Amino acid sequence: MLLELGMSSARSMWALSYATASFLTLVLTWVAITGAATKSRTVNIALCLLCNHLSELPLTIMFTDACFYTWLNITGTFQESILVRFFYYTNIITAIALIYLFRRSFEVQEAVQTFLNQLSKESKEWVELPGLASPRFWQQLLNPFHWPWDYTLYQNIPYWVQEEQLSAQKTDGWQSVAEMELDIYKPSSIQGGDNTPVLFYIHGGGWTHGSKSLIGPLLTEMVSHDWIVVAVNYRTTSKAGYPTQLIDCKRALRWVKDEIRTFGGDPNNIVVAGDAAGGQLASLLAMTPNVAEYQPGFEKVDTTVQGCIAMSADLDLVDAKNYSNYDARGRFISAVAKRSGSAESAENLKFLAEHSPRFRIKESGVPFLVVHGDIDTLTPVQSARDFVTEFRSNCRSPISYLEVPGGHHCFHLLSSPRSWYTTIAAAAWLNYNFGRVSETDTKGKRAVHELVEWGWTV
């Protein structure tokens, strides 16, 4: 009797869990398809994180649901619960929507092929994209936690000098000092003095969160291309507020320029990249070389880079056209920069403009690549379009733009067809402009997707 009561209670719990998960998945799938947003940044962040998983990993979601359903059948819950049977039929609708999301993730192929065709005209090489017949495609689909086989990771390398360490510790404590570190991913084939290209990557997180360990397929891809990748942390908890983050990134760049030859990198061939807030920091890093205001104590150090990739980046903090779904100006002034007064005051609007890449376009002297999803609810795509249009009109440096159909904010951090194709485009752009390329065959073709066999990591 007690056993039967226990099983009945368990079945009720499983039924309620299944119903709740089914309802939430149905609603979130609709949000993932439509890109619906609210006026709350917190809610939009939650929706972004959840919808990214639905958009980029729909087959994983379907597999999880199938496993849950199988368990309910085994335990007899499906047969006993009307609630479970009802949501079983609603899940058929959800499954159709998830299949649509999976199919839509391939729409980026056309955009990427157009992007690569333009590179092909310049490089005289035709780039072929992977499809369902590619072994690499299925390897990545089944194993989202992919890494190159052969590389060395150097972790948590501090980039401060002693005076900076003492100042940060006095102001914010030791934990803040621990944020001033970087990681280096070095292909094992690269030796000291090889002068290989360097990708300097800055993570996102709204300037107040995030970590250098949050890396996506682009970084692992570039390691497989024999690039050295540097992933940078910066202080997100400093009481001083922004531009501490920008200054820390310049300190990290100073260290890289001084030390990267030891790891086989070329200090004169560094491309800076970043996503979201990291994309804004990367853009400003590229646009403000040797600006003394952002290099306190190392004003004479050369901080030039050779190129920049901005992914899902906030390129216009002023947001005069109010593209943002929430008060982005107010949040940056109060929570990020920790300045007093209204974001609409003349002084604060000037501050926002000074730290908006859009208002520094004429100062850019390096090639840019901007990548943005067309249903980004945190950093609307319209701001990226405006930035690219003004860049092409007002700057002599070249700029490339890849708008990703169905891409949510920071979609590229997950391993999916959409992020893989975007990674192929970014890797081709990097290799064409700054680094090593794969060998071409006698017909002048190269298949980017088959460059390296990656290992399985769990």
pLDDT at residue 335 above 50? yes
What letter would DSSP give residue 355? T
Q: Which residues contact 390 (CB under 8 A, 6 or more apart)?
A: 358, 361
Beta bridge partners of 146: 456
Alpha carbon separation from 282 to 101, 169, 285, 286 (Å, rounded): 31, 25, 5, 6
Least confident of 55-59, 214-218, 248-252, 373-377: 214-218
**Residue 285's closest CA among 253, 327, 316?**
253
Kindly list the domain boundaries of the chain, sorted by start residue.
2-105, 125-316+356-456
Is this model's pTM higher than 0.85 or not?
A: yes
* Burial per residue of 365-399, b for 16 or more beta-carbon CB atoms within 10 angstroms, e otherwise: ebbbbbbbbbbbbbbbbbbbbbbbebbeeebeeeb
**Rounded Cα distance, 418 and 106, in Å:** 6
pLDDT at 198: 98
The mean pLDDT of the chain is 87
Structure confidence at residue 120 (pLDDT): 75
CB distance 225 to 435 below 8 Å: yes
Model confidence over 239-275: pLDDT tens digits?
889 999 999 999 999 999 999 999 999 999 999 999 9
Coil, helix or strand at residue 432: helix
Q: What is the pLDDT of residue 3?
A: 46
Q: What is the pLDDT of residue 264?
A: 95
Bigger pLDDT: 77 or 290? 290
pLDDT of residue 449: 40
- Residue 325 CB neighbours (<10 A): 18
Is pLDDT larger for residue 155 or for residue 129? 155
pLDDT at 4: 55
* pLDDT value for 197: 97
Q: State the pLDDT confidence band at 237, using cuts at 50, 70 and 90.
A: confident
The confidence band for 215, taking pLDDT boundaries of 50, 70 and 90, is confident
Give percent of the chain above pLDDT 70.
88
Quote the longest CA-to-CA distance of the chain: 81
Position 83 pLDDT exceeds 60: yes
Higher pLDDT, 214 or 274: 274
CATH fold for the domain made of 125-316+356-456 = Rossmann fold (3.40.50)
Instruction: Tell me the mean pLDDT in the region 437-450.
Output: 42
Q: What would the pLDDT profile of 355-386 be if each residue is shown by its tens digit? A: 999 999 988 889 999 999 999 999 999 999 99
Task: Look at 445 and 305; give whichever has higher pLDDT.
Answer: 305
